[in-house]
Amino acid sequence: MKNRIEEIRRARNIRQEDLAKCLGVSRQTISSLENGRYDPSIHLAHRIARHFGMTIEEVFIFDEEEAGGKKA
Amino acid sequence: MKRNIGVSIFWLALGAVLIICGALGVLDESWSGMGGGFAVVGALQVLRYVRINRNEAYREKIETENKDERNRFLSGKAWAWAGYLFVIIAAFTSIVLRIAGQDVFSQLVSGGACLMLVLYWGSYLILRRKY
């Protein structure tokens, strides 16, 4: 799943390590999230969005075609 | 963490007992070899426990790794792959052993593969009810 984590993090001058510490995850998890190699659980997605003061939809880009669903 | 150190000390002690029994001739060498393995694992776990308790930064790192959802996901996937590969390798090995005329070993290996499949289906049924 595509996301804007790296874009938002860099815009706020936050290091991966610091973001990881705030969220209680490892730095490797943040890296994998930013690279799109790992999709977070709904809990982690919610925590990330809340940390940035945004909604989940503003941080994560849900592509229905990628998910195998049909476009409305 | 306290339960873990207890288990680690148990393995270390068991390993030491097996090694001593092997050295005294009470048990044969294979038991003392196994004891060596237990002792090493137990000792490493104890050392890790001591390091965690003395080093705040290391303890935080370990706690984060243990709680990290991606690590848990990877661990679950790795176990799944290991189980699947075990069945494939066991089935292939069973066939090779049968061809080589090692019927007893072939049956043991295929029994192990069947046990893994039974465990898989049992786990699936339990998890299906739970989630």
Q: Which of A19, A23, A25 to mutate to test the interface with B (most CBs of B within 10 A)?
A: A25
Task: Please state, in angstroms and rounded to a whole number, the distance separating the CA atoms of residues B99 and B90.
Answer: 14
Mean pLDDT of chain A: 90
Average pLDDT of the residues in B74-88: 95
What percentage of chain B carries pLDDT values higher than 70? 98
Which chain B residue has the Cα nearest residue A41? B69
Average pLDDT of the residues in B92-113: 95
Average pLDDT of the residues in A38-65: 92
- pLDDT at res. B2: 60
- pLDDT at res. A64: 72
Average pLDDT of the residues in B95-124: 95
Which chain B residue has the Cα nearest residue A42? B69
Q: Do A32 and B65 touch (CB under 8 A)?
A: no
- pLDDT at res. B65: 87
pLDDT(A26) > 90:
yes
- pLDDT at res. B123: 94
Q: Do A29 and B67 touch (CB under 8 A)?
A: no
CB of B63 within 8 Å of a chain A CB? The answer is: no
A5 min Cα distance to partner chain B (Å): 16
| Residue pLDDT, tens place only, B28-47 | 888 888 999 999 999 999 99
Which two three-digit tokens encode residue B5?
Answer: 């150190």
Task: Please state, in angstroms and rounded to a whole number, the distance separating the CA atoms of residues B93 and B99.
Answer: 10
Cβ density class B40-64: b for 16+ within 10 Å, e for less: eebbebbeebeebeeeeeeeeeeeb
pLDDT(B94) > 60:
yes
pLDDT confidence band for A42 (50 / 70 / 90): very high
Q: Is residue A2 classed as helix, strand or coil in its secondary structure?
A: strand
CB of B69 within 8 Å of a chain A CB? The answer is: yes
